[in-house]
Amino acid sequence: MSIEEKRDQLVEELVPFEDHLDRFAYVIDRAKDAPSLEDEYKIETFLIKGCISQLWIFPKFENGKCFFRADSDASITKGTATLLCELYSGEPPGDIIRLEPDFLSEVGITQHLSPNRRNGLTGVREKIKSYAQHCLDIDK
């Protein structure tokens, strides 16, 4: 499945929720289903700056593709970060850099986040994009 198909699938999952509270309940359920990061990865190196919650993104590069896992002490934060990690995981760095996560605003997620949570989401995107760029640079 291409990264665009994964994005479209996430949109299809989120669009049916007409109420933003129902949409966030779904995002929180996704967070509960996502495995927690091991404590050894909950370190400063993987911490997202600017987020009101503690949020970690753990990256891995394997066989030319990037993989990401998220964890947070707040369910909404973990859920939205998990959506991005699912979108970008298993993708080559160039595709990750190219595709912006604008689908989150399309389905009404970002509009209902507090400014601090939006900052955290921006930090997640920046961390993922930065890691993908790093992988491109070392893979040359």
Rama region for 54: left / alpha / beta (φ>0; ψ in -120 to 50; rest): beta
pLDDT of residue 65: 95
Across the chain, which has 140 residues, the per-10-residue mean pLDDT values are: 92 88 91 93 92 92 96 92 94 94 85 81 91 85
Q: How many domains does the chain have?
A: 1
Beta-carbon neighbour count of residue 109 at 10 Å?
A: 23
Domain with 111, as residue range(s), is 3-138
pLDDT of residue 139: 63
pLDDT of residue 140: 60
Q: What is the CATH number of the domain that holds 15?
A: 3.90.1010.10
pTM for this model (two decimals): 0.91
pLDDT of residue 102: 86
pLDDT of residue 62: 95
